[in-house]
Each structure stands twice: as C-alpha cells, then as structure tokens.
Amino acid sequence: MSEIKVPDLGESISEGTIYKWLVKEGDTVGQGDVLAELETDKVNLEISAEEDGVIASILRQAGENVAVGEAIGLIAAGTGAPQQSSPAAAAEDGAVAVAAPPAAPPAPPAPAAVEPAEDAAGGGASAALASPGARKLARERGIDLGEVSARDPIGRIAQADVESHGAAGAAAPAPAPAPQAKPEPPKPQAAAARQPESGKAVERKRMSRRRLTIASRLVEAQQTAAMLTTFNEVDMTAILDIRKRRKDGFKEKHDVGLGFMSFFTKAVIGALKAYPLLNAEIDGEDLLIKKYYDIGIAVAAKEGLVVPVVRDADRLSFPEIERQIGELASKARANTLSLQELQGGTFTITNGGVFGSLLSTPILNTPQVGILGMHKIQLRPIALDETTTVNRPMMYIALSYDHRIVDGSEAVSFLVKVKELLEDPEALLLEG
C-alpha cells in the first residue's frame, strides 16, 4: 500500500485545495496517470500516480484544503478489488458493511424478547448489546433492536446501525421517520439559497482558493503600501500609424501580430532605466533596486486575474515580446501556467482598455512598487495651438506607486517619460 501525497508546490506555497478527483475508489491506474487536480493560490496542478495499482481509498475529498506532503489517498499494489484492502472503502459500501458481519448478530436474538423491558427501564441484558444512543433512536423510530444487524465484532449495536437499518426499510415503522432524517442535506441548500432577513433568493457560491488569495493580496497591498496614483494621456496617432503600415509585413515575417503591448513594454523599460526606484522593492529597512526587467502582464482568466512574467524583457525584440505575451495569455486562459511563469516580476502592466475601461486606478502587485494601467483608445478633440483643434486617438494611462520609496515628482516624471516614448516611436526604439 502506498500513499498519494500532495507534491511540493514551489516557492511560498505550502497548501492547496483539491479541485477534483479524476479517479474513484476501485479504479486501476498506471504510473504517471493523473489522479487529481489541485488548486493553489496561483495555478492548478495535476497529481499523478507514482506506481501501478488500484485506488484503495480516497482520504481527502474535493474542496478540502491539504498541505504539502499530506496523504490524500492510498494505492494498493496489483489489480485486485480495493474494497478488500481498504477499510474506508468497505465502510462506505452499505451492502458490505451490513452483510459482512451476519455471523455476529446471532447473539442479539435475546434482545428481541428483552427489548420491551429495555424500552421501559433501559436495563436488562440488551443494555450491554446496544448503546444508549442506539436505544433512544430505536424507541423514536419504533425499530426492534432484535432485527438490527451490528457491525461491531462483539455484536454491540451502535446508533449508526439503527440509522442504516431504518434507511434500508428493514422495519415497517421506519419509512415514516426517514424523511425526518433526510431533511438535513436540504437545509444547507435552503439556507444558502435564501436570505432569512428578506426572504429573497440569493446564490451562495464558495470562493476559489485563487479568488481568496487575490482578495487577501489586494487588501494587503492597500494596507501595507502608501499607494497613490498619477494620470496622464497619450496621443496614440504615431503607434496606430505604424501598426497600420507594418502589421501585415510584421505578421508575415514573424508569424505573430503587432499589438500595443510590445510598445508599452518597451516604453516602460525605457522609463524604468531613467527612474530605477520604480523597479525596486522594500526589504525591511533596505531597498532592492533591480538591474533586470521582468515585466508582469496582467491577464484576465476564468478563475481570476493572473500576472505571468516576461523575463528579461529589455533583451527581447518586438516580435519576441508579442510572442511571449501571446503564449502566456493563452496558457493563463487554459489554466496551464507553471509556477515559474508567475513568480517574480519587477513591474506590472495591466490593460483595462480591452474591456472598455476609460480610466481606472490599478492596485499594486506587491512587493512591486509600480504598476501601469492602460485604457481604452478614444477619439477626443485636442487643441494643437490656440486656433487649431483636431480629433486624436487618445488613451489615459495611470501609474500607481508606493509613496514610501517613490516621490510624487519621480512618479509623474516616470509617466511623462512613458508618454514621450509612446508618442515618438523612434525614441522608443532607441531608449526602450
């Protein structure tokens, strides 16, 4: 018998939640077969079988939190029926649980005659063969203890035996009380579906581990960082012109589309080089000013926002950046990102414009001290001089920063630098 254990989940992750089991007790599995899916704070991971065998027992169910190294199931060697090697599996099977010990109940025939005295006084020989809870439940349901099969090797009848007997309809009076034992499961559903105060219907849905983590980290960011946001706007005319003229040739040559993210990534890198405190983090009483540029790109996935990281983005070309962002975004939506692709990051870019956001305040992705928010491109009248007004494709951009180490003047200058680089693509190619 071998244990199915929660594998090492990587840096800073010590537990997860069983998302679902892909096998059931009694299934035959081979080494390397995927047994279960585990949800962590960042990604979902698969737990595989380490050897051939039969699923003897599932110890932890879907929805339960489990720690690294904890046993969540058992695998029995060979291909035999696991019910014989798994006490847990045998206990779940009502037929086996009741039929297995029929040799023991011959002792209880005497209680059939003594039962009335037991009901009246609770004493006699039957008192040694049934627990007080079992006697009480039997009286309430009108069940003859002499007809109840005991699972205990010495023949002692427990409350669970009486419940099993009643559920099986072994005694005539049992069917009437049975509905009173089963309202228990519907109660949580009724409570979850309705507000007692107003009586109006609501749906109660358990938050996923990732959503809980997102919630706690966002609250932590607001509570621990002195977060402020500064805004500016960018004239996107030059970039739109380049994309219009070059996108077909770019696609044909590099087999990837020319989007906006490569321009913004390069602009951010150029600004970070000019204002390095935005590429730092606080470590106790020290500042860690990073000399590398791992840019996180926020992606909206089904289970919540994730931020995969483009490593050493300053060394990548435009097509390489576009290709990496496309691949990471696809993995995020398919829930196949690795932990390594989510860890680290020195600065983050988030694009609410794809959802139509005109202006927003992004929250820091701690321990980073800066995050740039992109927004929807919208035609707006711009005054070129005192007499000339034209319509230009404009985008509001927002920089949220940690005021503990970044002064307002530096944050504003950083955002102005991003604006200048985006509005002058030639400078972007030189400095980004």
Give per-residue burial for 225-253: e unless 16+ CB within 10 Å, then b: bebebbeebbbbebbeeebeeeeeebeee
User: Which of 8, 241, 312, 407 is flagged as catalytic?
Assistant: 407
Q: How far apart are CA 340 and CA 431, in angstroms?
A: 29
CA dist 13 → 17, 45, 304 (Å): 12, 12, 18
CB 281 within 8 A of CB 369: yes
**How crowded is residue 99: how many other Cβ atoms within 10 Å of its Cβ?**
10
Q: How far apart are CA 212 and CA 65, in angstroms?
A: 13
Please give the backbone phi and psi of residue 422, each rounded to the nearest 5 degrees, phi first: -70, -35
User: Which of 93, 152, 312, 403 is flagged as catalytic?
Assistant: 403
Pairing of strands 295-297, 347-351: parallel
375 has catalytic annotation: no
Report residue 418 as tokens. 């991003």
pLDDT (0 to 100) of residue 138: 80
Q: How far apart are CA 99 and CA 97, in angstroms?
A: 6
Q: How far apart are CA 104 and CA 82, in angstroms?
A: 24
Instruction: Sketch out the chain's domains with CATH numbers.
Output: 2-92 (2.40.50.100), 109-193 (4.10.320.10), 210-431 (3.30.559.10)
Return the DSSP state at 194.
Answer: B
312 has catalytic annotation: no
CA proximity to 427, closest of 417, 353, 317, 209: 417
CA proximity to 158, closest of 98, 229, 246: 98
pLDDT tens, position by position, for the chain (432 residues)? Answer: 788 888 876 655 677 888 888 888 888 888 888 888 887 766 677 788 888 888 888 888 888 888 888 888 888 886 654 444 444 444 444 433 344 444 444 444 444 433 443 443 344 334 446 766 677 778 777 788 777 777 766 566 777 777 777 666 544 444 444 445 444 444 444 444 445 566 788 888 877 777 777 777 778 888 888 899 999 999 999 999 999 999 899 999 999 999 999 999 999 999 999 999 999 999 988 999 999 999 999 998 877 788 999 999 999 999 999 999 999 999 988 888 887 888 889 999 999 999 999 999 999 998 999 999 999 999 999 998 899 999 999 999 999 999 999 999 999 999 999 999 999 988 887 765
pLDDT (0 to 100) of residue 118: 41
